[in-house]
Every structure is written in C-alpha cells, then in structure tokens.
Amino acid sequence: MGYTPKIYADSEIEPRFQNSSVHGKTGPIHVSYPNFYWPQANNWFAALEELNIPLSAEPNEGLEAGGYFLPLNIHPDNQTRWDARRGYYDPNVDRRNFNVQVNSYVTKVLFDDGETLNATGVEFSSGPDGSRKTVYARREVIMAAGAIHTPQLLELSGIGQRDVLEPLEIPVLISLPGVGNNLQDHAMLRLSYDYTNSSVRDINDFFLNSTFNDESAAEFFASRTGPWTGKPSGAVAFPSLRQVTNDTSSRILRAQSLGDHLPSTYANESTLRAGFEIQAQNLLKDIDHRYTPAFEILNDNAGGLHLALMRPLSRGTTHITTADPFELPSVDPRWLQDPFDFDLMILAMQTNQRILKTRAIQQLQPSYPEVSEDADVEQLAAVIRTGTGTQFHYSCTAAMLPRHLGGVVSDQLIVYGTNNLRIVDTSIYPMVPGAHTQAVAFGTAEKAADIIKLTRCVGFLSFIMNTQG
C-alpha cells in the first residue's frame, strides 16, 4: 500500500522509447505509436524494472530484448489503421499492367517440358464447381499464397516430397522434401489474471461501460485522441533467457539439439535432418545472448499476460491429403513437441508468476481464474498441455536454404529445379523471425521486388551488350 508506480510523462516516452533515426519517413506502410496508453502501462514497466528486466530503447534498433511500447500500423496523423490495401493496392489500382482477378483460386502451376522446368502460367477457378481457366505468364510466375497454401499449390503442381505426392498419384516433377515441412509458428498460451481493482479502466469497459465508450468515441471523432486510438496490448515485453533466469542447471540453458522430436516426414530425409541440425545450432547459440528475445509477454493491460515462444525448436508440417485443390491441407503445427520449447514455456509462466507478485502489478489486484497463484511446475505443465495454440505466425514451409539442407527456394527466391517460379511470402523463411511476422512479410515483398527488378535490369543490359557485339 502507498506504492505508486513511476509515471512516464509523454516527454519522457518520446526519447526513451522511440528513436526516430531508425524509422524511415517515405515508405508505403505507416508505422507509429498511438496517442493513448492505458495508465496500467506504467504499472507494467514498473513491474519489469522491479524484476530487472530492462526497458528497451526500442525494438527497431536491433537489440530488441526487454519491455517496450509496441509500434503499430497506424497513420500518425489520424490514428487509423494502415494496411497493404492502402499502402500498395490503392496507389497502383489504375496501372494498366496490374489486374486483380477476384473470387479466383489458383489450382495449379503449369510448366512446359524441359530439363529445368519453365512455369508457363497458372490454372484457376472460382470454386469447386467453377470451370478451370488458364492465365499465361510471359516471364515468370510469383507465388504468394502464404505458409500453408504455397506448399499446397506446390504439391498440387507436382513439386514436393515424393512420399506425399506418390500415394495421391500426383506425378513428381521436382522432388523437394522441404515443401510443407519445417513449419514453424510462435506457440501461444493465452492467460488471464483479470485485474479486480475497480479504478482500473481497460478494453473491457468499451463493452461494459457505455458512458466510457460513448465519451471515448466522441473524443476520437473530435480530435483522434483518447482510448479508442489505443491498443489493448500497447506495452509488452520480449525478455531474453538471460534476463529472466540465472539457473545454469536449467535444462533450457544446457539444451543440445538432438533432433529426436522431429515429424515422421523427416525419417528418411537426410537433407531435412541436416537443415534442422544447422538451424538448431544457430538457435541455441542465439538464444543464449542477453539481447535475443526468448519469448513474448503480450500484456493487454486488463490482466491478460499472454505468452508466445519466439525461437521454437519444434517443427511441424502442412501437406495435402488429396489431389483436390479445394480440400484444405492437413496442418500439424506440433507446438512444444521439442522439450526445449516446453521447458521454455514453463519458464515464461514462472516469469508471469513473478511479474504478478511485483508491487506495481499487485496494485491492480490480479485474480487467478485459470492458473493458481503458486502453481508448481506440474500444474503449469497441465495448463500448457491444454491451452497452447497459434500466434498465427506460420512460416518456413518453402525455406530459403541450400537444397542439400532441405531448401525449396534459392536466394533469388526461385524454386529449385525451375527457371522462373518464385515464392514471396512467409514460407521462405528458414526460421521464424523472433518477432511478429507481418512487418517481415512486407520487408520480404519489398526485397523481392528489388531482386526481380535487378534481374530484369541485368537481363536488359546483357541483351544490349549482346546486340552491340
């Protein structure tokens, strides 16, 4: 009692949490910070300081471990959401060489015969009962169907693991075991410790307190300020392992990669196992670093302290089970199948327990509806076993790795064994980034555009040099 968490004034937040020198000003996607923070954000940062978890200057500086305000896709002038449609589609919709075919699903990539396959176009349809149509490509086909549907399309087109395609009687055009394997996600555990202090306002009050909601709406429409511009989880933490434990006897800190917990599809695939071994070595080295986040605590300022693992060793799969393109593939995320990940989630839950006991959070009067206050490891494990799910960050199912390590695309994004089929989405990551994936997906697309433009430029120059003798 009598304890007041440190209140960060706006003038302090500016230099402390936001470094404008690491942000561009001219990109198509706006990233900024809301005008409003729930006052409990102060308790959050004070709690982290009590536990010596540092407040990071800001994630975009590269040393991203610690607590910080989350940058958001909102326009700084009007505080409204910004997205791919506003950033990329709307400004280009009138271009004569740009067409979006709505209500259309690609069912297959088409190739001509040849030693190295040439993608000639795609087959598509409006649905299972629609007729199949074809669109032809003059130069190349670029696939961007995401980490689940890109491998589905590759497999439907005859590119993938032999053991997946042959039972479905799909002719194997290119044997690439990496397709649909190496699936990674940030395993997530949603945990609520609802704050019971009646003076605390939070996102739930928009639904429970109509006066508060009406006043917030009025403020938003009048000046684009106030609670409606905030995000529930504006203040978060991405602690590194070293920031939350010194226990050198911990199984996590002594982990060795054995590859004993891989999917059955890896059994006869030496390239996949070799690729995993290198990924695991890098990950274990990385995660030992003081400034590498091991997990995320998504504080929602209402008592939700949701956990997500940032650097998983578990690997999942996504494969077709039929040759019908309108049947969904079978996705097996295999969250926490590697004991390293499971132990890390236990450590994350124990970190939550310590945060809840800080003076700063005690002031908000947390409750324990899901996990008892002093739950032991066995009780925490039981919660993990029933509660773990996705953070929707599926990636890595057509990885950019050398072919002998289970790779699917080259560093030019070209699918091995083809001349001109590129992939541009989160499936190309060898390992899931230790951060939310959307910004990285935008970055991937921008980088891909540069690669493709450079290829054209080099092709054009060599054409000129050849014609000039």
By the criterion CB under 6 A, which residues form the site for ligand FAD?
A: 105-106, 144-147, 149, 153, 392-393, 425-426, 436-439, 441
- Confirm whether residue 106 is marked as ligand binding: yes
Strands (E), 212-368: 235-238, 295-299, 305-309, 317-319, 330-332
Instruction: Indicate the residue among 30 and 436 with the shorter CB distance to ligand FAD.
Output: 436
State the Cα–Cα distance between residues 297 and 118, nearest whole angstrom: 46
* CB atoms closer than 10 angstroms to residue 240: 25
Instruction: Indicate the residue among 146 and 387 with the shorter CB distance to ligand FAD.
Output: 146
For residue 261, indicate whether it is catalytic.
Answer: no
Percentage helix, strand, coil, to 5, in the chain?
35, 15, 50
For residue 306, indicate whether it is catalytic.
Answer: no
Q: Is 96 exposed, middle or buried (0-12, 13-18, 19+ CB in 10 A)?
A: exposed
Tell me the one-letter amino acid at 414.
I
Instruction: Indicate the residue among 320 and 401 with the shorter CB distance to ligand FAD.
Output: 320
Least Å from the CB of residue 449 to ligand FAD: 13
Least Å from the CB of residue 438 to ligand FAD: 3
Quote the Cα angle for 147-149-150, to 5°. Answer: 70
Q: Alpha helices, DSSP H only, in 179-251?
A: 205-208, 210-223, 241-244
Strands 188-189 vs 305-309: parallel, antiparallel or unpaired: antiparallel
Quote the Cα angle for 14-227-354, to 5°. Answer: 70
Instruction: Indicate the residue among 277 and 332 with the shorter CB distance to ligand FAD.
Output: 332
Least Å from the CB of residue 81 to ligand FAD: 11
Tell me the one-letter amino acid at 377.
V
Residues 6+ apart with CB under 8 A from 30: 73, 74, 75, 76, 82, 87
Task: Determine which helix (DSSP H) or strand (DSSP E) holds 119, and give its type and residue range.
Answer: strand 118-125
Single out the catalytic residue among 149, 186, 319, 393: 393
Least Å from the CB of residue 145 to ligand FAD: 4
Least Å from the CB of residue 445 to ligand FAD: 7
Binding residues are 106
Binding residues for FAD are 106
Active site amino acids: 393, 436
